Amino acid sequence: AAGVIQSPRHLIKEKRETATLKCYPIPRHDTVYWYQQGPGQDPQFLISFYEKMQSDKGSIPDRFSAQQFSDYHSELNMSSLELGDSALYFCASSSRPPGQGIDEQFFGPGTRLTVL
Amino acid sequence: SQQGEEDPQALSIQEGENATMNCSYKTSINNLQWYRQNSGRGLVHLILIRSNEREKHSGRLRVTLDTSKKSSSLLITASRAADTASYFCATDGAYNTDKLIFGTGTRLQVFP
């Protein structure tokens, strides 16, 4: 069965550089979530999209932006990278629209971002 | 953590033993889920229990939910070395929000 695809799997950047992370949800899943997991930490919700519109927002820095495209894939853009941005970034998808109660979210393998 | 705490933070057992992990949360919920994460890898959904359920089983997994105490437990019976991973509970925080709010996780080590 198709799963959530994330690219790249690993990314190394310098401070103040920019990074773009991509997420391809499971086919027919039109809700996408982004989470950030720092070393030894639990995943923290960043932002979510449904039908190309932002549906919820968490503790996402202003330096980060995201969008969902017409094919439902999503991109997380990170600018002015800081050392503290080093983390695993997960994308998850769901077939349930927002506002109908949460259901199982299917997670991708994550992108490990290292900022030097 | 934004939502809850899990205990123990780390658990080491021998193969064949049972492992019990507990999760407490702060707000009302619609449901609670448990996820597993192998070191540095993605999160794998294990089981979902709704707020009107008290117990649920899936294979060697048994989950309980006590909404009056705002707590849940995950029991893995007859553990195997392959069960070694971190286990997180996650809630929806009620109000029909859709984001998952994770607990702090329990690192389980099963020795062969």
Q: Render pLDDT for B52-96 as a digit per residue (tens, 0 to 9).
A: 999 999 999 999 999 999 999 999 999 999 999 999 999 986 665
Give the pLDDT score at B1.
46
**Which residues on A lie below 8 Å from B98 (Cβ)?**
31, 33, 48, 55-56, 94, 96, 98-99, 101-102
**Which residues on A lie below 8 Å from B92 (Cβ)?**
101-102
State whether B45 and A107 contact (CB < 8 Å): yes
Give the pLDDT score at B94.
60
Band the pLDDT of B33: cuts 50, 70, 90.
very high
Give the pLDDT score at B30.
84
pLDDT digits (tens, 9 = 90+) for A49-82: 999 999 889 989 999 999 999 999 999 999 999 9
Q: Which residue(s) pair with A24 in the sheet?
A: A5
Average pLDDT estimate for A84-113: 88
Residues 6+ apart with CB under 8 A from B100: A33, A35, A43, A45, A92, A102, A105, B33, B90, B91, B92
Q: Which residue(s) pair with A13 in the sheet?
A: A115
